[in-house]
Chains A and B, each alone.
Chain A
C-alpha cells in the first residue's frame, strides 16, 4: 500500500512540523512497517511545464522539431509524439534530469542534449509512462492551460503537488485494521502517534429518498449495510489533460480511468470504503420490473455471471451476489457484472456503498482469483459506519442531485464498552503511565473514555472493528505511546534448572559421535518425497500422508523413512565426484499405518538414518561404534524377516528398533548408483528407551603387564563368528582376571573351511604372569574351543 505523506500532512497539521525521517521512523515503530520511501521531489526535480511555441515536422520521420518556451531563453526539443503541436502546454524533462520512470531503479536514465536526425534536442517532452504516472505511451502529456499555476517554466512538481514522499507500507500486518486502508484512518493513527487529537473530517450528508428503489438483504450476516444512490450522470471520457486526480491516483499506484471510476477510487483511497457504480437503466432492464429491487443474497450453486472483464464465473453458495430483482448483476465486493456496466450511453447510475462478510469474500477472492483494491479492503472487514458518508461525498463530487437515496442497515452493531483499570495497563506492559496519559492517548484516535478513578470504560469508535477485550485497549496505549519507550526488565525467575529433554540430548550425542568420531556428514533433506521415489524403493505410497496442495509432484508424500532421501543425495554426491563419504540425518517420519496418537494426530517417529559407501559390514561397523559410544555394548542382530523392501535381504539384519544392510542392486541401479551402498536406520525414541537400562561395563585394568597371544582356528564355514568370539571370551575369562578378545582376520581359502584369527590379551590382577601360566591358560582356551566347535588350531 502506498501512502502520500503530503496527504497525511494535510489531515494532521502537526505531521508537517516533524522531519520526514523522524515521521517515517515513528510510523514504522508505532503503526506499521514502512518497507520503503520514495522521495518524489527528487524524482520530479528539474522537470517543467512548457509551452510548445513552434512545431515543425522532420520530413520522412515521425519526429518534430519543437521550439519550447521554458520561461527563460527558449529551447529546441525534438519530439516523436503524434500529438505534439504548436500552442500546447507539455511537460519537459530538462537535460540533467532523471526520467522519472527509471528513478530509483538500478539503471536510472539521465536526459541529455543530443542530436536527433541532425537536429539538436535538449531534454525531452514526456509521456505519461515516462513520468511514471500511468502506462499510456500513445503521446506526450498535455497540460490544461487553465489550470492554476500553469505557465511556461513552472515547476511540474509544484503545480501537481509532486514534492511528496511516498511510503511503501507492508499492509500484511494491518489485516485487522480495515480503517487504516484509507488515508483518513492512516492519518488518525499518525495524529495519535504524535500525541495530538485527530481532527475528524466532516462528511457531507444525504437525505434519504427511498421511493424509487428497494433494497432487500437476505441475511445481515452476509451484508451488514447496503446504501446506494441513483443519479443522473453521463460518464465522460477521461480528460485529455493530466489532472490532479490522476496524480493522486498515481501516488497510490492506481490509474485514472474515467471521471466516475476515478471518483469512486479516490474516495476509496481516502475513506477505505469501496464504491461501485451500475448503469441504472441496464439494472432496471435486467431485472425486468418497473421498480428496481436490489436484492443481496448468496448465490445458488452453479449460478453464472459474466463479469466486467468478460469472464464468466460459476458461483457457489459462498459467493454473495447483488441482483436486480433476483437477476445477478455483480459479484459483491469483487467485481460488477457485464450486464450493468457503465458505458458512453449511460444516463443514470446507481452508486453502491456497502459492506459484506469478509469471510465470504475471502473465499470468493480465492475461488475466483480476484485481487482488486476493493476486495483487499472488503476482506479486512470494512466498518458499516462508512457507507453513507462515503456515498454522500461521492454524490457531491459527481455534482448531481440524487434521484433516490436508500440505506438498508438491518443489523446496527453496538460498539462494546470495555472496562479496565490503570493497573491492568501498567502491569501488562511493565510501564507506569498515569491516567491522563492513557485517556488522552485513546481519545486522540477517537475512543470515548469514561474515567472512574483509576478505572476506564472505553467505547471504541465505529471504525474500530478490532477492539474486543481489554488487551486490545492495552495494545493501543502501548503502541501509540511507543513500545520502544517501555523500560526493559527481566522475567522474575526462581532458580529452577531446566528439565532435560532426553531425546534432544540423545540426538546431540548421536551427532557428536557420527560427525566428530566417525567423520560422517550430517544432512537435512525435505520431509516430502515423490511417489516415484517411493515406488522405486518399494515403499507403498498409499501408506503416506499426501499433501494435496504440494508445490510439485516431487514433494507430495510425507516420508515414511529417511533412507530413500539419503540414497538420492548419495547418488547426487557420487555424480558430483565425491568418493569416500557417509551421510546421516536425524528427522521425523510417519506413515498412515502407524495410526493416530491420543491427540488424534499422526503418530510420528524420530529416525536416524546413516548411509555409507560399502557393504553390510561398513554400515554394521558404524552402527557398532555408535552403540559403543552410547554405552550400549550388548545388542543382537537377527536375520531379517520383515525389512523395508530396499534392503538386500540376504545382506541385511534387523535389531530391536531398526535395520542395517545393503541396498538392493535393483534400487541402486534405478538411482544410478554404481557401487555398493549400505544403510542403517533406527528409531531413536526406541533406542532411548533401552539406553538407561544398559549400564556401562565396569572397567578393569591391571597394574601388572598384560600379554597378547594370537590364536587361529580352522572351522567349518557355517559356524557363526559370534559363537567363537563368545566362547573365546568365556574360556579366557574363566582362567584369567582381565581379558580382551579381538578379531584379527577372517580368511577362507576354499569353501570347506574358514580360518578365524583372534588376539587374546590378558593379565592377572595380582601378579605378573609367568611363562608357564601363560601357556597353561592358552592351552585351556584352545582345548575348550577345540572340543566345542570341532576346531583345529592352526
Chain B
C-alpha cells in the first residue's frame, strides 16, 4: 500500500466509529476493540511507509570510514597527561581515601636528610648502595623519597602528640647515578609512606600494603616478603605481590613492589619522637615500574623522552 492508500483507509476506518452508538449495547465493546486493533495496525504501516519514503533520498554511508567521501577527515585535537603522573595520582588517590596526607619531596637535598636522619652511620658502605649525585656544594638530588621522612615526622609530630597519628605519603622525583638502559633511568619517581601510632605493628604494615595493592589492581592478592636491609627500618623486608590478573598473572608469578619495615628507633629519636611510646612503619616503591607494567612498556627511557609519539598514547 502506498502512503496515500493507507491514509485513505484510516479515514474510512475513523468513519466506522460513528456506527458504535447504533449497535446493541453488548456488541459495542467488541466492535470498538476490533476497530482499535485495525487502526493501530494501519498506523504502524503508515509509520513504516513514511520512514521508507523519507530515507529513500539519503545515501548509505560506510560507517567504518573516518569521513564521508570528499569530506575533510574530522580531527579532534586532544591533549595528554604524562602516564607517570597519572599513575602516581591513582596511587595517591587510594592513599588519600585511606586517610594519608600528601607532601611532596624536594629535588635537591642534603646529607642530613639523605643519610644522617635515616640512621646511616657516616662512611658506612650502605651509603654506597644509593649511587647519589652530588653538587659542588655537597647537596644531593635525593636518591630516595625517604629523604622526606624526617620532615614528615617533625611536621606531623604535633598531631601524634595530640593523641592522633602520623599518616603521610610522599611522592617525588629521585635520582641515581646509573647508566641508562631499557630498565634503568637516572631519574625516576617514588612514593614513600610513613605511619606512626602508639600501637603500629609489622602485621599492620603488611595488612595496609596488601590492601593498597588490592585497591590498585582491583582484586584480592596474595603477598609475600623477602628480608631486606635498610638502615632506617628494623625489621625490614621487601614486599612482593602475586602477579595480578590484569597483568596476565595466573596465580604463580610474583612482583617485587617495595621495601618496607618498622621505623628504626634512631630515626624516630632524631625527629624528636619517643620510640618507647610510639612505633611506626615506613615503605617506599617506584612509580615508573607500575606504569611500565600497566602499559606493557619495555623501555623506561620513554618517560623522560618528551616524544609526542609516546605521549599522545596517554
Contacts and interface: CB of A to CB of B under 8 A. Distances in A.
Interface stretch (A255-263, A288-296, A509-517): A509-517
A790 interface: no
Interface in B80-130: 80-82, 84-85, 89, 92, 95-96, 99-104, 106-110, 113, 123-126, 128-129
A472 B233 CA distance: 10
B227 to A, nearest CB: 5
B202 A430 contact: yes
A489 B281 CA distance: 13
Given A29-B226, A478-B202, 5 more contacts: A379-B125, A475-B236, A489-B206, A524-B84, A547-B141
Nearest to B131: A549
A531 interface: no
A789 interface: no
Given A428-B262, A501-B102, A573 B306 contact: yes
B202 A175 contact: no
Interface of B: 77-82, 84-85, 89, 92, 95-96, 99-104, 106-110, 113, 123-126, 128-129, 133-137, 139, 141, 164-165, 167, 173, 175, 177, 179-180, 186-187, 195, 197, 199-208, 210-211, 224-229, 234-238, 262, 264-265, 279, 303-304, 306-309, 311-312
A527 B107 contact: yes
A243 B104 CA distance: 60
B11 to A, nearest CB: 43
B104 A504 contact: yes
A344 interface: no
B139 A175 contact: no
A511 B201 contact: no
B85 A487 contact: no
A429 B207 CA distance: 12
Interface stretch (A233-241, A320-328, A442-450, A581-589): A581-589
A555 B208 CA distance: 38
A551 B203 contact: no
B136 A490 contact: no
Interface of B is mostly: mixed
Nearest to B96: A498
B95 to A, nearest CB: 8
Given A471-B235, A580-B77, A488 B308 contact: no
Nearest to A586: B85
Contact of A583 (B177, B235, B306): B306
A491 B81 contact: no
Nearest to B132: A549
Contacts of B262: 428, 471
A775 B165 CA distance: 68
Given A362-B123, A491-B195, A173 B227 contact: yes
A508 interface: yes
Contact of A522 (B80, B136, B225): B80
Contacts of A472: 234
B89 A490 contact: no
Contacts of A74: none
Given A380-B125, A504-B102, A558 B77 contact: no
The 10 closest A-B pairs by CB, nearest first: A430-B203, A430-B201, A569-B306, A475-B235, A515-B79, A488-B207, A519-B79, A471-B234, A483-B225, A359-B123
Interface of A: 28-33, 172-177, 358-359, 362-363, 366, 379-380, 427-431, 469, 471-472, 474-475, 478-479, 483-484, 486-494, 496-499, 501, 503-504, 508, 511, 514-528, 545-551, 555, 558, 565-566, 568-569, 572-573, 576, 578, 580-581, 583, 587-588, 590, 599-602, 604
A643 to B, nearest CB: 24
Given A549-B177, A558-B135, A587-B173, A486 B206 contact: yes
A24 B89 CA distance: 37
Contacts of B228: 173
A779 B206 CA distance: 76
A429 B234 CA distance: 11
Contacts of A545: 108, 135-137, 139
B304 A494 contact: no
A498 B227 contact: no
Given A176-B229, A428-B279, A493-B165, A576 B308 contact: yes
A601 B210 contact: no
13 contacts: A430-B201, A486-B202, A489-B206, A491-B207, A501-B101, A522-B79, A523-B311, A527-B175, A545-B108, A547-B141, A565-B306, A599-B110, A600-B110
B141 A558 contact: yes
A515 B80 contact: yes
Given A488-B210, A498-B99, A501-B102, A483 B165 contact: no
Given A428-B262, A429-B202, A511-B85, A491 B208 contact: yes
Contacts of A489: 201, 203-204, 206-207
B199 A523 contact: no
Nearest to B180: A551
B81 A511 contact: yes
A450 B168 CA distance: 40
B106 A31 contact: no
A30 B224 CA distance: 11
B138 to A, nearest CB: 9
A523 B306 contact: yes
Given A472-B234, A491-B204, A558 B186 contact: no
Contact of A526 (B106, B187, B211): B187
Contacts of A587: 107, 173
B167 A493 contact: yes
B313 to A, nearest CB: 11
Contacts of A175: 125-126, 129, 229
Given A515-B79, A524-B84, A588-B107, A549 B308 contact: no
B162 to A, nearest CB: 11
Given A501-B104, A602-B108, A604-B106, A524 B125 contact: no
Contacts of B195: 491
Given A173-B227, A547-B133, A547-B135, A428 B106 contact: no
Contacts of A494: 164-165
A225 B93 CA distance: 56
B99 A493 contact: yes
Contacts of A524: 82, 84-85, 303-304, 306
Contacts of A431: 202-203
Contacts of B136: 545-546, 548
Nearest to A472: B234
B104 A503 contact: yes
A724 to B, nearest CB: 31
A508 B92 CA distance: 12
B104 A527 contact: no
A380 B129 CA distance: 13
Contacts of B85: 511, 522, 524
B109 to A, nearest CB: 6
B305 to A, nearest CB: 8
A580 B76 CA distance: 12
B304 A576 contact: no
A483 B279 CA distance: 18
A595 to B, nearest CB: 12
Nearest to A580: B77
Given A483-B206, A490-B207, A33 B180 contact: no
A136 B25 CA distance: 119
B308 A581 contact: yes
Contacts of A493: 99, 165, 167
A496 B201 contact: no
Contacts of B180: 551
Contact of A601 (B139, B197, B202, B309): B139
Contact of B99 (A469, A496, A520, A528): A496
A572 B306 CA distance: 9
A477 to B, nearest CB: 9
Contacts of B81: 511, 515, 522
Contacts of A28: 226
Contact of B89 (A177, A486, A508, A525): A508
